[in-house]
């Protein structure tokens, strides 16, 4: 039975049950009676069933009935409670507010799960990968630091053990990126320092560099034609800004979970434990991300087959961009998987991950002001003639949904839009409407989009995923470099909505702030230190929560199943400690979930509500921060390169 058919049967059966309640004198076999399993009542249920870009929350009800994993009825207390059967669980919410389960459209929670596991168990991963941070203010000092690490800390390395060496970053403008970009060291020189040690130099904005021993390991790890691995490693754009993290992610996952007996089962356990705790405590029942690390896909499939998925995940496939030179050919053969999967795990498209880097490796049309020349690295990884450009073009020509994932600068957006225009012009079988149906996305909104790009985004029906949190203070140091105009390019939610572009919410940075602290920042544009950044882009509280619910459901291609509370949709919802919609604006950061329900089952229940209900708490009891800690470096002024 398809999902659409099941919803139709449920609604039909519900209508049948209504008939029974009106004609109780009829004798009906018990098997035909479909009483709700759960009814929540005496609540303020904000359904968010207004799909428009307006600031309307849609219908507001008092009660909701759930049967299995689907919503059965919504209405007044009197309307819904009369459907209760002898086994129906009824929860009186004492006028608390209920919203749909939250959806995060860009968060690598599975990577966070693995990273936390490695932090808690360093003794397990160190036999495979040891991580170091170099020092030095000149190229010569950095090279000496690398030599010292290899000599003193890796002299007695274990078999197959890697050294992952991070270069001085300094918010991306340290010497590390320039060290790699400007020839501070070559692969041959790194070979001379570490001839038998697989070593990777990581520099964030400057990408990464591996030596010959590491190259041989990667050829073996990724199998197939070694020339494809070499083509990737020999191409600067493929291993440029924004790609360095791929090395440690892939190596640590493959070496520890992928090459050990029992590793896959262990990774599945790690994912189940973390994903069933951290995001669920925050009211997130769905998230979207690429899967970077070849071990994640089989681990998630194991959870799906064993009915153990603790959260819903709409994933983007990026296997063609992981140490693979023929990206375009790979995507052509891969084809379109969009929408395939299960209720808890489905494909939302294909991706290259980053098409530019974070600061200073953004791909932007802007030039640095006087005094800051040379500070910025050209992070345009998808310029015409590059592997990335050809891959994006091939995806669109193959009618694949391209999930941009990471585009920090405005020029990156220009490149993608130009490719879309080119494909529509060249292929008579691909129309503008075909392109709009793809719902191409772009994530991060750091210095993008420009105001003049918004009509083009609307033309192609793109959906833009924007964070809050550190992205606001992170832009502060770059205002003197590029000018005040960039504050209106940073998370321009109001401009996008007014221009007819759907905007969604992402929370990649994580942290212990409540899930609605980001909405407070979207409303005030205020950083933790009180700076107001781009006040013209502030939005209202209803639009902010629509970014986390019904609009986000469009991003993950599940607006018929998720994002609002309606009969026939999945019973994913959150009970809040306060009424988000009426509390004073400054109290919004103190709003958090008391109960999270996923597929009709209580996945998290805080002690505060559990006590009222006379039951035990369930799940992670997170200690929320109403104002997150801010690293002062986020807003610190950048060094001038000339006076």
Statement: residue 296 has pLDDT above 80: yes
Lowest mean pLDDT among 22-31, 154-163, 468-477, 560-569: 22-31
pLDDT at 83: 97
Rounded distance between C-alpha atoms, residue 25 and residue 12, angstroms: 20
Confidence of residue 225 (pLDDT cuts 50, 70, 90): confident
Q: List strand residue ranges (DSSP E) for 458-558, in order.
A: 463-466, 502-505
Q: Of 352, 369, 632, whose CA–CA distance to 479 is shortest? A: 369
Statement: residue 297 has pLDDT above 80: yes
Q: Which two tokens stand for residue 440?
A: 């191409």
Rounded distance between C-alpha atoms, residue 436 and residue 220, angstroms: 40
Residue 310 · residue 279 · CB < 8 Å: no
Q: Give the DSSP letter string of 110-143.
A: HHHHHHHHHHH-HHHHTTTEEEEE---SSHHHHH
Give me the helix-helix angle, 263-275 and 109-120, nearest 10°: 110
Question: Where are the chain's structural domains?
Answer: 109-258, 263-567
Rounded distance between C-alpha atoms, residue 117 and residue 123, angstroms: 11
pLDDT at 284: 98
Q: Which residue has the higher pLDDT, 262 or 632?
A: 262
Confidence of residue 207 (pLDDT cuts 50, 70, 90): confident
Rounded distance between C-alpha atoms, residue 332 and residue 395, angstroms: 7
Q: Which two tokens stand for residue 94?
A: 């004492």
CA distances from 387 to 233, 240, 403 (A): 12, 12, 17
Confidence of residue 358 (pLDDT cuts 50, 70, 90): confident
Half-sphere exposure at residue 321, Cβ-oriented, CA atoms within 13 angstroms: 32
pLDDT at 323: 87
Helix (H, G, I), strand (E, B) or coil at 104: strand
Q: Averaged over 489-493, what is the pLDDT?
A: 97
Statement: residue 173 has pLDDT above 80: no
Confidence of residue 22 (pLDDT cuts 50, 70, 90): very low
Residue 577 · residue 591 · CB < 8 Å: yes
Statement: residue 8 has pLDDT above 60: no
> Radius of gyration (Cα) for the chain, nearest Å?
26
Helix (H, G, I), strand (E, B) or coil at 499: coil
Confidence of residue 13 (pLDDT cuts 50, 70, 90): low
Buried b (16+ CB within 10 A) or exposed e, 203-214: bbbbbbbbbbbb
Confidence of residue 170 (pLDDT cuts 50, 70, 90): low
**Beta carbons within 8 Å of 573's beta carbon, 6+ residues apart:** 40, 64, 98, 99, 100, 101, 565, 596, 597
Statement: residue 308 has pLDDT above 90: yes
Residue 350 · residue 316 · CB < 8 Å: yes
Domain 263-567 belongs to what topology? TIM Barrel (3.20.20)
Rounded distance between C-alpha atoms, residue 46 and residue 260, angstroms: 48
Number of neighbouring beta carbons within 10 Å of residue 494 = 20
Buried b (16+ CB within 10 A) or exposed e, 601-631: ebbbbbeebbeeeeeeebbbebebebebeee
Residue 313 · residue 366 · CB < 8 Å: no
Q: Which two tokens stand for residue 184?
A: 């501070």
pLDDT at 628: 79
Confidence of residue 431 (pLDDT cuts 50, 70, 90): very high
DSSP state, residue 485: G
Residue 618 · residue 605 · CB < 8 Å: yes
Confidence of residue 7 (pLDDT cuts 50, 70, 90): low
Rounded distance between C-alpha atoms, residue 391 and residue 382, angstroms: 9
**Beta carbons within 8 Å of 1's beta carbon, 6+ residues apart:** 9
- The answer to whether the pTM exceeds 0.75 is yes
pLDDT at 248: 76
Number of neighbouring beta carbons within 10 Å of residue 50 = 16
Residue in the block written with tokens 């709003």? 591
pLDDT at 468: 79
Confidence of residue 457 (pLDDT cuts 50, 70, 90): very high
Residue in the block written with tokens 């918010």? 171
Model confidence over 325-334: pLDDT tens digits? 999 999 999 9
Q: Averaged over 573-586, what is the pLDDT?
A: 99
Number of neighbouring beta carbons within 10 Å of residue 532 = 12
What end-to-end distance do the CA atoms of the chain give, in Å?
71
Residue 447 · residue 489 · CB < 8 Å: yes
Rounded distance between C-alpha atoms, residue 440 and residue 401, angstroms: 6
Residue 496 · residue 537 · CB < 8 Å: no
Q: Which two tokens stand for residue 279?
A: 């995001």
Which contiguous run of DSSP H or E holds residue 45?
strand 44-46
SS3 of 146-184: the string is HHHHHHHHCCCCCCCCEEEEECCCCCCCCHHHHHHHCCC
CA distances from 202 to 130, 165, 177 (A): 13, 6, 9
Statement: residue 396 has pLDDT above 60: yes
Q: Which two tokens stand for residue 569?
A: 């949709």
Lowest mean pLDDT among 167-176, 207-216, 343-352: 167-176
**Beta-bridge partners for 466:** 505
Residue 112 · residue 278 · CB < 8 Å: yes
Confidence of residue 510 (pLDDT cuts 50, 70, 90): low
Looking at every residue in the chain, the average pLDDT score rounds to: 91
pLDDT at 11: 52
Q: Of 14, 2, 1, 154, whose CA–CA distance to 71 is shortest? A: 14
Rounded distance between C-alpha atoms, residue 480 and residue 121, angstroms: 42
Rounded distance between C-alpha atoms, residue 63 and residue 544, angstroms: 24
Residue 407 · residue 443 · CB < 8 Å: yes
Q: Which two tokens stand for residue 285?
A: 């029942």
Helix (H, G, I), strand (E, B) or coil at 495: helix
Strands 44-46 and 60-61: antiparallel
Statement: residue 17 has pLDDT above 60: no
**Beta-bridge partners for 349:** 316
Half-sphere exposure at residue 439, Cβ-oriented, CA atoms within 13 angstroms: 18
Q: Averaged over 10-15, what is the pLDDT?
A: 54
Q: Percent of the chain at pLDDT above 70?
A: 93
Q: Give the DSSP letter string of 55-103.
A: S----EESEEEEETTEEEEEE-HHHHHTT--TT-EEEE-TT-EEEEPEE
Q: Give the DSSP letter string of 183-215.
A: TSS-HHHHHHHSSSS-EEEE-GGG-EEE-HHHH
Residue 289 · residue 258 · CB < 8 Å: no
């Amino acid at each position: 039975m398809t999902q659409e058919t099941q919803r139709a049967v449920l609604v039909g059966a519900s209508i049948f049950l209504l008939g029974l309640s009106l004609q109780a004198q009829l004798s009906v076999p018990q098997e035909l009676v479909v009483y709700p399993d759960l009814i929540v009542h005496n609540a303020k249920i904000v359904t968010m069933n207004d799909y428009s870009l307006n600031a309307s929350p849609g219908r507001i009800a008092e009660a909701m009935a759930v049967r299995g994993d689907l919503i059965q009825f919504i209405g007044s207390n009197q309307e819904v409670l009369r459907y209760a059967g002898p086994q129906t669980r009824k929860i009186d919410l004492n006028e608390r507010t209920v919203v749909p389960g939250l959806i995060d459209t860009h968060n690598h929670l599975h990577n966070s799960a693995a990273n936390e596991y490695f932090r808690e168990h360093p003794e397990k991963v160190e036999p495979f990968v040891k991580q170091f941070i170099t020092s030095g203010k000149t190229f010569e000092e950095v090279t000496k630091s690398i030599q010292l690490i290899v000599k003193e800390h890796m002299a007695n390395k274990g078999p197959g053990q890697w050294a992952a060496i991070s270069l001085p970053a300094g918010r991306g403008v340290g010497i590390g990126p320039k060290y790699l970009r400007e020839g501070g060291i070559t692969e041959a020189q790194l070979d001379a320092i570490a001839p038998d040690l697989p070593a990777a130099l990581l520099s964030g904005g400057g990408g990464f560099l591996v030596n010959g021993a590491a190259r041989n390991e990667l050829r073996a790890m990724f199998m197939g034609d070694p020339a494809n691995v070499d083509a990737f490693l020999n191409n600067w754009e493929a291993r440029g800004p924004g790609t360095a993290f791929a090395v440690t992610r892939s190596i640590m996952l493959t070496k520890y979970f992928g090459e050990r007996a029992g590793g896959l089962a262990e990774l599945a356990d790690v994912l189940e434990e973390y994903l069933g705790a951290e995001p669920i405590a925050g009211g997130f029942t769905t998230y979207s991300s690429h899967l970077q690390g070849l071990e994640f896909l089989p681990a998630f499939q194991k959870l799906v087959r064993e009915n153990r998925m603790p959260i819903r995940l709409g994933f983007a496939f990026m296997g063609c961009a992981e140490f693979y030179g023929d990206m375009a050919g790979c995507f052509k053969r891969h084809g379109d998987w969009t929408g395939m999967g299960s209720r808890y795990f489905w494909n939302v498209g294909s991706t290259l991950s980053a098409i530019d880097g974070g600061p200073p490796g953004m791909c932007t049309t802007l030039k640095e002001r006087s005094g800051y020349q040379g500070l910025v690295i050209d992070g345009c990884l998808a310029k015409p003639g590059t592997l990335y450009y050809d891959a994006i073009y091939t995806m669109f020509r193959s009618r694949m949904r391209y999930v941009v994932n990471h585009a920090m600068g405005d020029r990156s957006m220009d490149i993608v839009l130009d490719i879309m225009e080119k494909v529509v012009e060249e292929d008579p079988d691909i129309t503008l409407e075909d392109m709009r149906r793809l719902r191409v996305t772009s994530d991060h909104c750091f210095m993008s989009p420009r105001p003049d790009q918004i009509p083009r985004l609307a033309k192609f029906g793109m959906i833009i995923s924007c964070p809050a949190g550190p992205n606001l203070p992170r832009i502060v140091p770059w205002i003197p470099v590029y000018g005040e105009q960039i504050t209106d390019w940073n998370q321009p939610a109001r401009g996008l909505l007014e221009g007819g572009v759907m905007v969604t919410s992402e929370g990649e940075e994580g942290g212990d702030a409540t899930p609605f602290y980001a909405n407070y920042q979207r409303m005030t544009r205020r950083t933790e230190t009180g700076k107001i950044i781009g006040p013209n882009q502030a939005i209202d509280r209803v639009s902010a929560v629509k970014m986390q619910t019904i609009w986000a459901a469009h991003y993950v291609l599940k607006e018929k199943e998720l994002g609002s509370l309606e009969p026939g949709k999945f019973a994913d919802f959150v009970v809040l400690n306060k009424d988000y919609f009426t509390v004073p604006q400054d109290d919004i950061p103190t709003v958090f979930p008391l109960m999270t329900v996923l597929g009709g089952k209580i996945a998290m229940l805080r002690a505060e509500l559990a006590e009222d209900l006379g039951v035990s708490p369930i799940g992670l009891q997170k200690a929320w921060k109403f104002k997150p800690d801010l690293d002062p470096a986020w807003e610190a002024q950048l060094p001038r390169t000339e006076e």
